[in-house]
Amino acid sequence: MPKNKMIQTAEQVETLLKRNHLSVTDSRKKILQLFLEQAGALAHGDIEKRAGERFDRVTVYRTLQSFVDKGIIHTIPTADNSVRYALCKDDCEEGHHHDHHIHFLCIKCNNTYCLDDVVTPEIKLPKGYTISHVEVVVDGICKNCGT
Amino acid sequence: MPKNKMIQTAEQVETLLKRNHLSVTDSRKKILQLFLEQAGALAHGDIEKRAGERFDRVTVYRTLQSFVDKGIIHTIPTADNSVRYALCKDDCEEGHHHDHHIHFLCIKCNNTYCLDDVVTPEIKLPKGYTISHVEVVVDGICKNCGT
DNA sequence: AATATTTTGCAACAGTGTTGCTTTTTGTTA
DNA sequence: TAACAAAAAGCAACACTGTTGCAAAATATT
């Protein structure tokens, strides 16, 4: 990564933290940076690994939780019982979710992507049901892994 | 529950197990009966509780796994990182899934239902993505909890 | 009824996530 | 910039979930 890009990201990270009234700490900077550098979603395990074993497990959990609370990242439900977190482009960076996009899980590279441009379709339920939220998770092969 | 209904269910359970080439054991009978008596989905924890503390945790896990393998039940992904299992009416009892229905999670009673009549909608993805499976989970209030 | 096969229960373990508490770091105010 | 208050990190311990290997028990088969 070119040096000026890195500096830019570091500034971006600090701004993002301050904007969300979070004190700027090493772990928050590092973990947020991981999300910004990464197109897909990250599981807790990924983060521990990529952060270079520098932070305590508990710190990572608490950092992720604070990010979720502030609306910087959001969780993605998966079938395999592992929580994944994603920082969505655009709106989500501003601190409020527009979580009506679908999630895509590549069965080849095992990455999870937020497809921000694909909105969740209307679902018609039988009488008596009230809809509060619709979550769509699509499994398949992503455009990087497809021929 | 009336006595003849119970006997009927017991027979139904044995038939179902034998049809799937599973030996008829106490735990399998009891756990399968739980699914037949219950409209919604069950988490591992629910099953341990409702079975009356009679079976080892490991046995419950293995029983559920064998049911999934045989196609008697299927798993439902949830946002809260807990796997739920559901026996779907009709086709699924025959040993093969028609898992194109959506799942509904009531935020009041916390039950999960398979809405067999509601099929998953078509999802259009950007070029380059190949769809293998679409999972739709809707949160809201079920018809029992709605006024 | 005897035997082979399958399943159960137990013990131990790994992974994931949480809580309480002390030390360290961050932010603030003088 | 030094001193202080507030917040976060790190550590230890714990709870929960799920898995594996193995001996004992139950089921299926002859």
pTM of the model: 0.82
Query: Does nucleic acid strand C have an atom less than 7 angstroms from the CB of B11?
Result: no
Residue A62 (CA) to nucleotide C22 (C1'), in angstroms, measures 17
Which 17-36 positions of A have CB less than 7 A from strand D?
22-23, 25-28
Least confident range of A38-42, B103-107, B136-140: A38-42
At A94, is the pLDDT very low, low, confident or very high (cuts 50, 70, 90)?
very low
> In this complex, do B128 and A117 lie within 8 Å of one another by their Cβ atoms?
no
Residue–nucleotide distance: A112 CA to D11 C1' (Å): 33
Q: What is the rounded CA–CA span in Å between residue B102 and residue A123?
A: 9
- Burial pattern A75-109, b for ≥16 Cβ within 10 A else e, equals bbbbeeeebbbbbbeeebbeeeeebebbbbbbeee
Tell me the C-alpha distance between A105 and A40, whole Å: 9
Inspect the interface and report whether the beta carbons of A140 and B126 lie closer than 8 Å. Answer: no
Average pLDDT value over all residues in chain B: 84
Where does the pLDDT of residue A1 fall: very low under 50, low under 70, confident under 90, or very high at 90 and above? low
* Residues of chain B contacting residue A129, judged by C-beta atoms under 8 Å apart: 104, 138, 140-143, 146
Distance from residue A85 (CA) to nucleotide C26 (C1'), in Å?
26
Among candidates A79, A107, A124 on the partner chain, residue whose Cβ is nearest the Cβ of B77: A79
The beta-carbon contacts of A11-14 under 8 Å, at least 24 apart in sequence, are A12/A36
- pLDDT (average), residues B36-62: 88
Q: How would residue A5 be classed by pLDDT, with cut points 50, 70 and 90?
A: low
Q: Which uninterrupted H or E stretch holds B18?
A: helix B3-19
